[in-house]
Amino acid sequence: MEIKRSKISELFTSKPIGEKVNIKGWVRTKRGNRQVGFIAVNDGSTIKNMQVVVDIARFGEEALKPVTTGACLSVSGQLVASQGGGQEIEIQCENLTVYGTADPQSYPLQKKGHTMEYLREIAHLRPRTNTFGAVFRLRHNMAIAIHKFFHERGFYYFHTPIITASDCEGAGQMFQVTTMNLGEIKKDGNGAVSYDDDFFGKQASLTVSGQLEAELAAMALGAVYTFGPTFRAENSNTPRHLAEFWMIEPEVAFNEIEDNMQLAEDFIKYCVKWALDNCYDDLKFLNDMFDKELIERLNSVIKVDFVRLTYTQGVEILEKAVKDGRKFEFPIYWGADLAAEHERYLVEEHFKRPVILTDYPKEIKSFYMKQNDDGKTVRAMDVLFPKIGEIIGGSQREEDYGKLLRRADEMHVPHKDIWWYLDTRRFGTAPHSGFGLGFERLMLFVTGMSNIRDVIPFPRTPRNAEF
């Protein structure tokens, strides 16, 4: 008789002791002696393994030969309270089918731990480890939390283009998109590449941000957010950068910078709380395995108020620290862009909690940010987090057509590339604000992982596009 398959997570929740159940999953370990075998099976539904107990006398030693680490099984039997100490329940095996074997000589995952660097080389198999199972379950949950947060607040999920012909944000080097034969590129009279015959009839690239298009949507739908892939061709080799990453960009009409800050703070707290409420088993594993302060840090972030101060105040604190003998590698003065060491000092040493810095000098920020009356600063905001630095960058946007135009000119953004963006300031302009958050940066914080390549299934970095 066929028994309906249960997910292991369901069995651990409902614990139908005495019932006949069926599970399907992959072998993590096998132990035992001549009389009895113990198989730990994981099906991805939870970090917990189901222990399957096999009476060797009944099945024969040969039957267990193909049951090795990595093999895929279907197991039926009675769910019983475990006689051993390591787990609450287990399955007394009555029927065992091997769907797929995994040759132990060549299967790259062993029972013992591996380094993250090694697991990156076998990214096709690393979801089968406890660590990456936990990370990817969390990744899913964070995506759900993001959509729930915005949906509950009346935001619309707005899809901005992946392929774009405008590079106006200046957010970084772009990947070019073309159908031209790179072996025979057509040049014009001046030796410049001619895009007339290219697919779009002009130069096109992968998006570095959906912000400008999200602003268009905010000017109609009121409150929107994007959540999609983003591409940067920067040669950045750090544990915090990817060439392909996912970004969340809310944009809200009538929000001033203060509303924007509140939204950012509420948003992060909502996501962190979601993880604590819905992924505790996985967090506990990551906490015990990699980062002993993870859960404590997550709990603390949802409790404290983020510090809010202006760039000018931040620089004053840093200047005072220097006067008191604190050494920094880079000089600090009003007008300087803050280096990572400066941000870290403010967050980790001075305030010891998340910090939102606002009102930066206009020279070090983008053309679209709203200018303050002092003529020197813009209504930018960066949310700085312990361990990972800048997790959010945002601003109130310049809604004044004339001021925006002047700023675009000063920063050499051609009008012809952003005529559609400028139009929003000509037709029914409104104060509005928004921010961008790198999804994998949030993942770093929530999982406690230390390298961004370990919070995305298949990382894209310079010289690496395997899988």
Partner RNA sequence: UCUUCAGUAGCUCAGUCGGUUAGAGCAUCUGACUGUUAAUCAGAGGGUCGUUGGUUCAAGUCCAACCUGAAGAGCCA
Give the distance between the most distant pair of CA atoms in the chain. 86
Question: Under the criterion CB under 7 A, does residue 452 sit at the interface with RNA?
Answer: yes
Between 275 and 455, name the residue whose CB sits nearer to RNA: 455
420: its two tokens: 């559609």
CB of 242 to RNA, least distance (A): 4
Rounded distance between C-alpha atoms, residue 220 and residue 149, angstroms: 21
What are the CA-CA distances from residue 215 to residues 162, 169, 218, 397, 433 (Å)?
Answer: 16, 13, 5, 9, 9
Size of interface with RNA, in residues (CB under 7 A) = 72
What are the CA-CA distances from residue 194 to residues 137, 166, 198 (Å)?
Answer: 46, 17, 8
Residues 33 to 72: which contact RNA by CB under 7 A? 33-36, 38, 40, 51, 53, 68-69
Rounded distance between C-alpha atoms, residue 17 and residue 14, angstroms: 9
Question: Under the criterion CB under 7 A, does residue 167 sit at the interface with RNA?
Answer: no
Question: Under the criterion CB under 7 A, does residue 128 sit at the interface with RNA?
Answer: no
Question: Under the criterion CB under 7 A, does residue 117 sit at the interface with RNA?
Answer: yes
Between 118 and 199, name the residue whose CB sits nearer to RNA: 118
Find all residues with CB under 8 Å of 409, minimum gap 6, and list them: none
Rounded distance between C-alpha atoms, residue 435 and residue 268, angstroms: 12
User: Which residue carries 């004044």 as its tokens?
Assistant: 400
Residues 271 to 300: which contact RNA by CB under 7 A? none
Residues 304 to 343: which contact RNA by CB under 7 A? 330, 337, 339-341
Rule CB under 7 A: choose which of 82, 95, 97, 194 binds RNA. Answer: 82
Question: Under the criterion CB under 7 A, does residue 92 sit at the interface with RNA?
Answer: yes
15: its two tokens: 């614990």
Between 34 and 202, name the residue whose CB sits nearer to RNA: 34
CB atoms within 10 A of CB 97: 11
Question: Under the criterion CB under 7 A, does residue 363 sit at the interface with RNA?
Answer: no
How does DSSP assign 19-88, residue by residue?
A: SEEEEEEEEEEEEE-SSEEEEEEE-SSSSPPEEEEEEHHHH-HHHHTT--TT-EEEEEEEEEE-SSSS-S
Question: Under the criterion CB under 7 A, does residue 129 sit at the interface with RNA?
Answer: no
CB of 333 to RNA, least distance (A): 14
- Part in contact with RNA (CB under 7 A); list of ranges 156-164, 349-357, 369-377, 446-454: 446-454
- Part in contact with RNA (CB under 7 A); list of ranges 3-11, 81-89, 277-285, 290-298: 81-89
Rule CB under 7 A: choose which of 5, 24, 114, 153 binds RNA. Answer: 114
Question: Under the criterion CB under 7 A, does residue 202 sit at the interface with RNA?
Answer: no
Question: Under the criterion CB under 7 A, does residue 397 sit at the interface with RNA?
Answer: no
Rule CB under 7 A: choose which of 437, 445, 447, 448 binds RNA. Answer: 437
CB of 20 to RNA, least distance (A): 16
Rounded distance between C-alpha atoms, residue 67 and residue 73, angstroms: 8
